[in-house]
């Protein structure tokens, strides 16, 4: 049984350069897509870990202002307003998102919450991703399996099937 | 003799059921895509005109306001939609359609249409250009994979050789028929693409359309000839079909996907927060709470005084705050030029990677040339952004000038009126001239010519060899 399996395996993959190129090409694309997915996931994690200080209200300073207001000190009515507090909401990448991240860079993964901001400006961000790669339908593992694998299998040399 | 052989070839095409079905499918899809494309382009243009009109109304009817307050309120620059975007949307859906021309800030273009989609489709946007490239080439594959291989299998090639048909006539008939099929597909697709434009009376630049037509024809001829080569060299028609399928998959799906992926691997996108923070630090904090302010303000002051032949701002009644605000814009603009220049260069580098990837695929080269001719490529987008930024600087400078000259002692309590708002011109831009577009796509045009020429020569050679072998047999 094992010998049969080995013989079949050798026939399928090692006796024709064309078949080998097919399999190696697909494996190469798969590895590249997987590594790219991991790099993307890591980049999102890193970006979310480094909180943009310029967007967030200094919570310690705000608390100090609140204490001054409660102590009935003569402070500006603009101080310690709950509306001024800002929060950064995160959407961390899913556990297996590295397998299907194509086009995700276009969508925001953070939202700045503030009483002064309306829903329309929640996701206001710089849309700086390159339009050319975005329009090229890039690859990830799910794309390789769902879109490329079926025609790839149908197109592989007939003797392989 | 060649006429007879050509007629025989075209007759066999007519009888090919699979080709007929694919042709009908292509026609139907082209019709749907054409109606949808023109409708989308029309809607985009109407939305833009409406938004522009509202923006102008808001601007001129804002009432009495301080010019600097108005500069923060400011206006939007909306990207025009060129008519041929209906045929080839290019990168249009993936690039921002509007720029907020705010004081102190160069804002990147926003409102990408692709973000409104519920989910990203695995394929590109359905457009006439995409269908012609993908389904058209598939139809040619179905039509031509057996062109030589089947003749050999059925021994008709030997019979032709025995009956005295020269290999030259045989090859010319095969290549000529493939060319006729490519022309037919291209003509039908472009005719369908143009019908809604004629019905809607949309003016179309015929020269651009002619270049798109020529490029499409070259790409389809290149693909058709490559299939003839495979058909002549493969052992049987089944193998020719399989190899042709691999070629189609690689050229229409594989190379564009790999090219896009390679572009971001070699030139990764910038981190949005980091980019924004660096601009904030250099353009805003660097001026307002850094050392740059005094120097830039002094320089601008000296410039104004030299121009007016005065010794002090008070002497000419200039408001100092207005001078400081204009000085900041001058300082910030240098930062924007540098930072956004880097971003623009990065996007161009990504685009160049895809341009070089088109060496491996005439269909990708065709896509790029079509997008350029339609005015929906990266170059057109960057040109729009540059024009919008130029307009922003002019608008803000005009408002600062008014503040400097008329605010006097009132400072920020000074209010201007409708006359000032109306004196500010609307944002107007034109698509890039055709000459510039063609200069940008020399590589791709060269790729199309090279593929078509090389594939035709190989088809000629391969079919000749196949015929000679049968003659010898």
Q: What is the pLDDT of residues B425-460, one digit of tens each?
A: 999 988 899 999 999 999 999 999 999 999 999 988
**Cβ separation A126–B109 shorter than 8 A:** no
CA distance A70 to chain B (A): 31
Contact B362, B248 (CB under 8 A): no
Q: Which of A75-79, A83-87, B436-440 has the lowest mean pLDDT?
A: A75-79
- pLDDT band at residue A157 under the 50/70/90 scheme: low
- Cross-chain residue pair A137–B346, CB shorter than 8 Å: no
What span, in angstroms and rounded, lies between the C-alpha atoms of B356 and B122?
A: 23
* Interval B396-416 mean pLDDT: 85
Average pLDDT over residues B231-260: 87
Report the residue from B242, B269, B280 with minimal CB separation from A158: B242
Structure tokens, B252: 């229409």
pTM of the model: 0.86
Are residues A131 and A25 in contact, defined by beta-carbon separation less than 8 angstroms? no
Q: Is the pLDDT of residue A106 over 70?
A: yes
Mean pLDDT, chain B, integer: 87
Q: What residue of B is the nearest CA neighbor of A44?
A: B271
Cβ atoms within 10 Å, residue B288: 13
Residue of A106, A135, A143 for testing the chain B interface, max B β-carbons within 10 Å: A135
Of B254, B273, B354, the CB nearest to A52: B273
Quote the minimal CA–CA distance from A7 to chain B in Å.
Answer: 24
**pLDDT tens digits along B69-112:** 899 888 999 999 898 998 999 998 899 999 999 988 899 998 88
Separation of alpha carbons B131 and B437, rounded Å: 23
Predicted confidence band of residue B43 (pLDDT cuts 50, 70, 90)? confident
Q: How far is A134 from chain B (nearest CA, A)?
A: 6
pLDDT at B156: 79
Compute φ and ψ for B98, nearest 5 degrees: -145, 150
Q: Mutation target for A interface from B92, B242, B262, B278: give the one with most A CBs within 10 A.
A: B242
State the DSSP H helix or E strand holding residue B75, giving kind and residue range, or none if neither.
strand B75-78
Asked if B88 and B378 touch (Cβ cutoff 8 Å), the reply is: no
Report residue B12 as tokens: 């066999």
Does the distance separating the beta carbons of B124 and A128 come in below 8 Å? no
Sign of CA dihedral A138, A142, A146, A149: positive
Does the beta-carbon distance from A135 to B350 stay under 8 Å? Answer: no
Q: Which among B82, B73, B80 is positioned nearest to B98, based on CA atoms?
A: B80
Mean pLDDT of B190-200: 85
pLDDT score, position B461: 87
Could you give the CA distance from residue B55 to residue B76 in angstroms, rounded to a whole number? 7
- In this structure, are strands B98-101 and B75-78 parallel, antiparallel, or unpaired? antiparallel
Q: Identify all chain A residues contacting B260, using CB atoms and an 8 Å cutoff.
A: 132-139
For the segment B346-356, the average pLDDT, to the nearest whole number, is 95
Say how many residues make up chain A: 161
Alpha carbons A45 and A63: distance in angstroms, whole number: 29
Is A137 close to B260, i.e. CB distance below 8 A? yes
Query: Using CA of residue B46, residue B51, residue B55, residue B61, what is the dihedral sign?
Result: positive
Cα diameter, chain A:
90
B32 Cα to chain A: minimum distance (Å): 21
Cα torsion B276, B281, B286, B287 to 10°: value is 40
Q: Is the pLDDT of residue A155 over 70?
A: no
- Residue A160 pLDDT level (bands cut at 50, 70, 90): very low
From chain A, the residues in CB contact with B378 under 8 A are 131-132
Residue B403: is it exposed, middle or buried by C-beta count within 10 angstroms (0-12/13-18/19+)? buried
The pLDDT confidence band at residue A14, using thresholds 50, 70 and 90, is: low
The predicted-structure confidence for B199-222, as pLDDT tens digits, reads as follows 888 888 889 999 999 999 999 999
pLDDT score at B469: 77
Q: How confident is the model at residue B150 (pLDDT cuts 50, 70, 90)?
A: confident
Instruction: Enumerate the residues of chain A whose CB falls inside 8 A of the CB of residue B269.
Output: 105, 128-130, 133
Contact state of B260 with A155 under an 8 Å Cβ cutoff: no
Distant-in-sequence, close-in-space partners of B317: CB < 8 Å, separation ≥ 6: B405, B408
- More confident: B18 or B349: B349
**Tens of pLDDT, residues B100-119:** 999 888 999 988 888 777 55
Closest CA to B145 of B325, B22, B269: B22
Point out the residue among A43, A127, A138 whose CB comes nearest to the CB of B260.
A138
Tokens matching residue A117:
């901001």
Q: DSSP letters along B90-142, please?
A: TTGGGS--EEEE-TT--PPPB--GGGGSSS--SS----HHHHHHHHHHHHHHH
**Percent of chain A's residues with pLDDT above 70:** 81
Looking at beta carbons, which residues of chain A come within 8 Å of B242?
A: 155-158
* Percentage of residues in chain B having pLDDT higher than 90: 33
Chain A residues interacting with chain B (CB cutoff of 8 angstroms): 29, 32-33, 36, 43, 47, 50, 52, 54, 102-103, 105-107, 125-139, 143, 146-148, 151-152, 154-158
A152 contacts B261? CB cut-off 8 A: no
- Which is more confident, B375 or B320? B375
DSSP assignment string, B272-288: HHHHHHHHIIIIIIHHH
Beta carbons of A27 and A148 less than 8 angstroms apart: no
**Which three-class secondary structure state does DSSP give residue A129?**
coil
Q: B142 or A138: whose pLDDT is higher? A: B142
Mean pLDDT computed over every residue of chain A: 78
Please give the average per-residue pLDDT across A61-82, as a whole number.
81
Helix-helix angle B362-374:B128-144, to 10 degrees: 150
Ranking A93-102, B156-165, B355-364 by mean pLDDT, the lowest is B156-165
- pLDDT at residue A53 in the model: 65
Residue-wise pLDDT for B454-466, tens only, equals: 999 998 888 888 8
| Nearest CB to A137; choose among B90, B257, B273 | B257
Nearest chain A Cα distance for residue B348, angstroms:
9
Neighbouring CB atoms inside 10 A of B54's CB total 11
Cα-based distances in Å from B275 to B107, B199, B314: 12, 47, 40
Cβ separation A132–B239 shorter than 8 A: no
Measure in Å the smallest separation between the Cα of A66 and chain B Cα atoms.
26
d(CA B94, CA B327): 35
Give residue B378's pLDDT band: very low, low, confident or very high (50, 70, 90).
Answer: very high
Q: How far apart are the first and last CA of chain A?
A: 20
CA dihedral B421, B423, B426, B427 (to 10 degrees): -100
Percent of chain B past pLDDT 70, that is, above it, reads 97
Q: Do A50 and B351 touch (CB under 8 A)?
A: no
**Neighbouring residues of A99: CB distance < 8 A, sequence distance ≥ 6:** A34, A37, A140, A141, A142
Determine the average pLDDT of the residues in B291-313. 82
Contacts of B126 (CB under 8 A, 6+ apart): B29, B32, B33, B36
Contacts of B136 (CB under 8 A, 6+ apart): B26, B185, B186, B189, B220
Kindly tell me if the per-residue pLDDT of A161 is higher than 50: no
Q: Say if residue B309 is exposed, middle or buried (CB neighbours under 10 Å; 0-12, 13-18, 19+).
A: exposed
Q: What's the rounded Cα separation, in Å, for the pair B256 and B35?
A: 26
CA distance B396 to B383: 20
User: Under an 8 A CB cutoff, do A36 and B265 touch?
Assistant: yes
């Amino acid at each position: 049984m094992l010998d049969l399996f080995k013989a079949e395996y050798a026939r399928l993959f090692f006796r024709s350069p064309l078949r080998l190129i097919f399999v190696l090409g697909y494996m190469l694309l798969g590895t590249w897509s997987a590594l790219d997915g991991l790099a993307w996931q890591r980049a999102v994690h890193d970006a979310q870990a480094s909180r943009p200080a310029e967007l967030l209200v200094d919570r310690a300073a705000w608390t100090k202002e609140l204490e001054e207001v409660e102590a009935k000190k003569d402070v500006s009515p603009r101080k310690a307003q709950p509306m001024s507090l800002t929060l950064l909401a995160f959407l961390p990448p899913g556990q297996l998102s590295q397998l299907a991240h194509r086009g995700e860079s276009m969508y925001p993964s953070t939202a700045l919450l503030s009483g002064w901001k309306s829903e329309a400006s929640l996701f206001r961000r710089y849309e700086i991703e390159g339009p050319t790669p975005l329009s090229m339908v890039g690859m990830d593992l799910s794309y390789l399996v769902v879109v490329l694998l079926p025609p790839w299998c149908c197109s592989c040399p007939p003797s392989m099937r | 003799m060649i006429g007879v052989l050509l007629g025989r070839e075209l007759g066999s095409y007519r009888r090919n059921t699979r080709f007929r079905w694919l042709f009908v499918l292509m026609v139907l899809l082209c019709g749907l895509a054409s109606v949808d494309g023109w409708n989308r382009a029309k809607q985009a243009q109407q939305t833009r005109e409406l938004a522009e009109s509202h923006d102008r109304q808001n601007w001129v009817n804002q009432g009495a306001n301080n010019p600097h307050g108005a500069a923060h309120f400011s206006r939007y620059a909306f990207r025009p939609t060129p008519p041929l975007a209906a045929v080839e949307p290019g990168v249009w859906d993936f690039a921002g359609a509007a720029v907020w021309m705010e004081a102190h800030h160069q804002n990147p273009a926003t409102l990408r249409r692709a973000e409104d989609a519920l989910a990203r489709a695995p394929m590109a946007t359905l457009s006439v250009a995409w269908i012609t490239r993908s389904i058209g080439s598939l139809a040619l594959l179905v039509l031509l994979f057996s062109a030589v291989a089947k003749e050999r299998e059925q021994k008709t090639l030997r019979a032709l050789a025995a009956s005295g048909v020269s290999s030259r006539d045989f090859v010319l008939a095969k290549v000529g028929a493939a060319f006729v099929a490519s022309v037919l597909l291209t003509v039908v697709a472009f005719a369908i693409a143009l019908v809604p434009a004629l019905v809607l009376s949309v003016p179309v630049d015929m020269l651009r359309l002619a270049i798109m037509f020529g490029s499409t024809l070259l790409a389809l001829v290149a693909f058709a000839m490559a299939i003839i080569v495979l058909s002549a060299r493969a052992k049987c028609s089944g193998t020719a079909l399989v190899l042709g399928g691999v070629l189609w998959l690689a050229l229409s799906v594989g190379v564009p996907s790999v090219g896009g992926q390679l572009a971001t691997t070699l030139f990764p996108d910038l981190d949005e927060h980091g980019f924004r923070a660096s601009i904030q630090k250099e353009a805003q904090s660097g001026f307002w709470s850094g050392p740059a302010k005094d120097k830039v303000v002094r320089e601008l002051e000296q410039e104004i005084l030299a121009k007016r032949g005065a010794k002090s701002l008070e002497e000419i009644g200039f408001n100092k705050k207005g001078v400081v605000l204009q000085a900041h814009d001058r300082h910030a603009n240098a930062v924007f030029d540098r930072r956004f220049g880097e971003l623009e260069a990065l996007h161009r580098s990504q685009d160049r990677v895809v341009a070089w990837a088109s060496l491996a695929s005439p269909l990708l080269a065709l896509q790029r040339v079509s997008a350029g001719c339609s005015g929906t490529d990266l170059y057109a987008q960057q040109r729009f952004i540059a024009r919008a930024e130029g307009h922003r600087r002019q608008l803000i400078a005009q408002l600062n000038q008014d503040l400097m000259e008329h605010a006097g002692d009132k400072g920020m309590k000074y209010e201007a009126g409708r006359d000032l708002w109306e004196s500010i011109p609307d944002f107007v831009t034109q698509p890039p001239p055709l000459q510039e577009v063609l200069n940008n796509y020399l590589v791709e045009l060269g790729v199309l010519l090279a593929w078509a020429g090389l594939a035709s020569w190989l088809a000629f050679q391969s079919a000749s060899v196949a015929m000679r072998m049968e003659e010898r047999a």
